[in-house]
Each structure stands twice: as C-alpha cells, then as structure tokens.
Amino acid sequence: MDSQGQDGQRVVWTVVGTGIGPLLLAATKDGLVNVVFHATDAVRDRAVERLASRFGTEPVEEPDSPLLAEAIGQVEAYFAGERRAFDLPLDWSLISGFNRQVLRALADGVPYGSVVGYGELAGRVGQPGAAQAVGMAMGANPLPVVVPCHRVVESGGGIGGFGGGLETKRKLLALEGVLPEPLF
C-alpha cells in the first residue's frame, strides 16, 4: 500500500504525552479522525493497523504534519488547564448512525466541567429509552477526550464505564473540576 490509499486519502499520526499517559492522534485531510488512549508501542501498532485497514493506506508517523499541528496544540493546552473546548475539524468517518448522532450531541451539548447521564443523552437524541445504546456509543467513540465521553455518567451518581479505564475517566473529570483530584 502507498501512503495515499485508493482514493488519495492520507492518514498521519503522532503520539503526545499527557497527564493521562500517551495519546495517539491521527488525522486525515478532513480533520482529526482518531484518538487512542495508552498509546504504548503495542497499542499504537494495533491502532495504526486498524487505521491502515479502514482507510486502505499506510498511516504515516508525522508529528510535524500541518494536519496534526492544531490538534496537538489544543490537546496540550487542554491538559495544561489552558483550554476548555476543542475547536478542531473532525473526520467522523470511523463512526456512523446512532453512535455518530449521540457523539455529535455530546460534543455540541456537554461543555467542560459538566456531566450528563446516559439516559439524558439518549433523550437529547430522541431515544429516551436507549441509555444502554448510549453506553455502547461511548465505548465506540473514535475521538475520546476531544469528543468528551468521559463526561457521561450514571444517573444515580456512579461514574459509569470508560474505554480508557476508570482511573483515566476520574483524572479527566478531576482536570475539569467535576471530581476532586485523586489523593494517590
């Protein structure tokens, strides 16, 4: 495979160190397409393989790519406590249907420092009985942190699940002032 894919699509990626560990950021010409938690070598390699399979092109590690520059800057500013909202072009091509609808509602309607219940988010997309399906959509989120699935919690006050692990979710909610900082 070449670096352009069958339709000329180019995928670039890099790994950024953050307060929750290394994040892989991948982008296409349409915008940020994937954020992957805990991007150690093995996780990173699997993520790059999935992107290659999905896009039909070999993703290129290119930390200086103009396609990634703004995303890197905004992610770093977020973790430094200097940014409360992401303003990035997003490539939604890794998700569709109900999951995309839910994630767009989340991205547009649940600001920094706030949380929403799974059931409430289901209601916002016109499916009030679909709390479990919302949970599945959160687990399928290809753009965590930027599309803030960490802000979705259980209606009874529980933290709920999280693809990046519960400790990562706690740290993100603490960064945003929703939870106290962990003591250790």
Contact 103, 95 (CB under 8 A): yes
SS3 label, residue 25: strand
Q: How far apart are CA 33 and CA 57, in angstroms?
A: 14
Is residue 154 within 8 Å of residue 135, measured between CB atoms? no
The span from the CA of 41 to the CA of 69, in Å, is 22
Q: Which residues fall within 8 angstroms of residue 120, CB to CB, at 6 or more apart?
A: 155
The residue from 16, 24, 67, 149 that is catalytic is 149
Rounded CA gap, 11 and 47, in Å? 12
120 is catalytic: no
Neighbours of 108 (CB within 10 A): 10
Task: Round to whole Å and give the CA distance between 178 and 139.
Answer: 21
Active-site annotation, residues:
149
